[in-house]
Structure 1
Amino acid sequence: MAATLPTQHRALVLDSIGADLQVKTLPMPQPTSGSAIVQIVAAGALSYHREIYNGQRHYPLATPMVGGYSAIGRIAALGPDATALKPGQLAFVDCVIRGRDDPSILYLLGVSEGYSAASRKLAREVWRDGTLAEYAKVPLENCIPLDEAKLCQSLGYSFQDLMYMGYLLVPFGGLRDIKVEPGDTVVVCPATGGFGGAGVQVAVAMGARVIAMGRNETELARLQEHVRKGTPWASVETVRITGDEAKDTAVLQAYGPVDAVLDFTPPAAAKSTHLKSAVAALRYEGRVSLMGFVDFSVSDMKVVGSNITLKGKLMYSREDTLQFVKMLERGVFPRGQDFVDTKTFGLDDWKQAFDAAAEWTGVGKAVALMP
């Protein structure tokens, strides 16, 4: 099922951690069993991509490598064992690589090679290069087909709009993992970053009432306005994190019993007390999805006495992705800038793209590179 491919393509290469990335001309990857060659049309830039590649985040990565993470692209060629994907088809290229014979082996393409010998083997010997390139070779199962006519014509999403999926899918994985249902009251904390803000949008789309916690009152107000503008029926309340654990708990409790908590604490806020306040406000048999980096301890009496479920969650499953695409194609999310305002750059402007990604953060904001 191979198509006629160019012999070379341009890619953004990291030769070593701390070095500047360089746009290089590389040999074209070829399709093999279990793989697809995807022509990239929009690749996402994370708010902390700059920190990964300059070494500030200390994420393990084998170099040289092509940078990136998830992307939107067209299937250019397929390995001989492909049965459903077709050349020319639009697809979401998922950065979550799993071991085919052991799905617990997981790493993020272009972000980290993981922390086990098995994930390092996959990252170094099989799937090393990310999506900041004109073409990328990726596993077949990481290509999620998209209905281009419905998404881009009927609903009016651009390719760069669709790249916002990279943010939305992460909280969707966490919320599904703790079985959030329509009508639930969900605390998202903190909600003013990229993943937290996306978590508010996803929880609303799932039919939940949301309480968004954060320190920045201006950003909380913007978040509330953004979500309500796109979904006027949404129930979104905001609570400022004061650092006074008991006070923050009382404010949350005033909104009534909380069913679930979705936590995205960044490393810099690991000592914050906001998660303790959120857990204290949970009802009997409440649930918590821990997707951040919080240094967390909580009263045993609360967790044991109230049958609280605490679940760690890294990213999302392929089944989550397929379900999310169904929601997106059904039109349950807003469109245009009520959905996302994306800044776009070319590969040669990668520095500006990473700088923009570090600043252009929060609900409805994203940065994409378009090769």
Structure 2
Amino acid sequence: MTSPLPPHHRALVLSTRSSGFSLHTVPIPLPTPGSAVLRILQAGIISYHREVYDGTRPYSFPTPLVGGSSAIGRVAALGPDAVSLTVGQLVFVDCVVRGRDDPRELFLTAISEGARAGSKKLFRDVWRDGVWAEYARMPLENCVPLDEERLCAGLGYEIKDLMYMCHLLVPYGGLRDIRVEPGETVVVAPATGGYGGAGVQVAVALGARVIAMGRDEGKLAALREHVKMGTPGASIETVRISGDEKTDTAALQAFGTIDAVLDFTPPAASKSTHLKSAVAALRRGGRVSMMGFVDVPASSWKLVGDNITLKGKLMYEREDMFQFVKMLERGLFPKGEEFVDAKTFPLEDWKEAMDSAAEYTGIGKLVSFAP
């Protein structure tokens, strides 16, 4: 179940954090039981990749390694136990690797080896290298089939557009975890960053009414316009985060019943009070998906007195990916620039690409490599 592979390929290798990346010609990865070798077409770059690899964010991982996270690729070769994937098939390549005999052991490809002994062993000894390369070897279960005929020929998506899945899947995992339903009202905060903006887009696709919170009124207005252009019937409101807990709570309460909150607070804003305001505005029995970094999410009396469900969520589950792809293939998301405005770079321009990813954030913004 293999196709001819070249003996070598190009990959971005991080030898040490201090030295940065360099483009190397390295041996091609070969398929093993439980794996697929992918020809990488688009490899996503997240906004904080630069901080991960220069040591600003103290994530733990061994070096040397090939960088990356998620990707869109085409199956180039398969291990002997593959039964459904086929050579040439278009797939989304997921960056969340889990232990097959213990799914609690998980890590993010080429970003963090996790905190447990099992995840560290998997990262260091089995799945060290990421997808910033012409080819990559990944677990079979991390390759999610995409209906290329439907998505590209039918709906008109380009391959580079589909890479935006790496942003959309994260909030989808949080929203699905707290079972957001059509017609409910969801607060997304902060909503003007990459994952927050994607969260607004996913919540709208799910049929929810969205209240987007952010500090910059200009970015909030642009977000609202972007959503309305892509989905004319979308229900979206905005609230500027003032920094005053009671003021922000009152601003949210003015919109009536609020069912759920999706939070993406970045580490730098961990002491912000916006999540406390959003939780205070929740109805009795409301739900919160915490996907960011907040020191104190809410008063204990609010949580206990109103039966609030507070759930932490890292990324998404495997079944979430398949359900999300069904939504995408059914045409529930916009297309063209109302879906994503992508910037792509060759591997040679890795520094410019990571600098661009750090600045080019928000709803519909994506930076990727095209190896």
TM-score of the pair, normalised by structure 1: 0.99
Q: Show the counterpart of 1:126.
A: 126
Post-superposition offset of 1:297: 4.3
1:144-163 to structure 2, matched below 5 A, reads: 144-163=144-163
Q: Show the counterpart of 2:260.
A: 260
Match for 1:73: what amino acid? Answer: G
1:25-78 CA distances to partner (integer Å, 9 max, x unpaired)?
010111010000000000000101111100001111111000000000000000
Separation in 2, partners of 1:19, 1:167: 28
Post-superposition offset of 1:105: 1.0
Separation in 1, partners of 2:160, 2:61: 26
Asked if the contact 2:200/2:212 (under 8 Å) is kept, the reply is yes
Separation in 1, partners of 2:159, 2:124: 30
Tell me if 1:337 matches 2:357: no
1:155-190 CA distances to partner (integer Å, 9 max, x unpaired)?
111111100000000000000000000001000000
Match for 2:105: what amino acid? Answer: I
Post-superposition offset of 1:298: 2.1
Separation in 2, partners of 1:48, 1:62: 18
| SS of 2:242 mapped into structure 1 | coil
TM-score of the pair, normalised by structure 2: 0.99
Post-superposition offset of 1:234: 0.3
Q: Show the counterpart of 2:46.
A: 46
* Structure 1 unmatched runs, 5+: none
Q: Show the counterpart of 2:59.
A: 59
Q: Show the counterpart of 2:283.
A: 283
Q: Show the counterpart of 1:102.
A: 102
1:130-279 to structure 2, matched below 5 A, reads: 130-279=130-279
1:55-94 to structure 2, matched below 5 A, reads: 55-94=55-94
1:5-20 to structure 2, matched below 5 A, reads: 5-20=5-20
1:260-308 CA distances to partner (integer Å, 9 max, x unpaired)?
0000000010000000000000001000000001112422221111000
Separation in 2, partners of 1:127, 1:184: 40
Match for 1:11: what amino acid? Answer: A
* Structure 2 unmatched runs, 5+: none
Q: Show the counterpart of 2:326.
A: 326
| SS of 1:39 mapped into structure 2 | strand
Q: Show the counterpart of 2:27.
A: 27
Post-superposition offset of 1:361: 0.3
| SS of 1:262 mapped into structure 2 | strand
Asked if the contact 2:194/2:365 (under 8 Å) is kept, the reply is yes
Separation in 2, partners of 1:317, 1:252: 30
Separation in 2, partners of 1:325, 1:140: 17
| SS of 1:284 mapped into structure 2 | coil
Match for 1:33: what amino acid? Answer: P
Q: Show the counterpart of 1:309.
A: 309
Separation in 2, partners of 1:94, 1:170: 11
Q: Show the counterpart of 2:37.
A: 37
1:184-243 CA distances to partner (integer Å, 9 max, x unpaired)?
100000001000000000000000000000001111011000001000000000000001
Separation in 1, partners of 2:25, 2:54: 22
1:78-115 CA distances to partner (integer Å, 9 max, x unpaired)?
00000000000000000000010011111100111111
| SS of 1:52 mapped into structure 2 | helix
| SS of 2:315 mapped into structure 1 | coil
Match for 2:319: what amino acid? Answer: E
Separation in 1, partners of 2:241, 2:18: 35
| SS of 2:43 mapped into structure 1 | strand
Separation in 2, partners of 1:153, 1:24: 35
Q: Show the counterpart of 2:366.
A: 366
Aligned pair count? 371
Separation in 2, partners of 1:122, 1:16: 20
After superposition, the CA RMSD in angstroms is 0.6
1:126-146 CA distances to partner (integer Å, 9 max, x unpaired)?
000000000000000000000
Separation in 1, partners of 2:287, 2:19: 43
Post-superposition offset of 1:18: 2.7
Separation in 2, partners of 1:257, 1:130: 44
- Structure 1 ranges of 4+ moved more than 2 A: none
Separation in 2, partners of 1:128, 1:2: 22
Match for 1:66: what amino acid? Answer: V
Separation in 1, partners of 2:55, 2:299: 36
The farther-off stretch of 263-272 and 11-20 is 11-20
Q: Show the counterpart of 1:296.
A: 296
Asked if the contact 2:275/2:297 (under 8 Å) is kept, the reply is no
Distance 1:297 1:142, change over 3 A: closer
Post-superposition offset of 1:154: 1.0
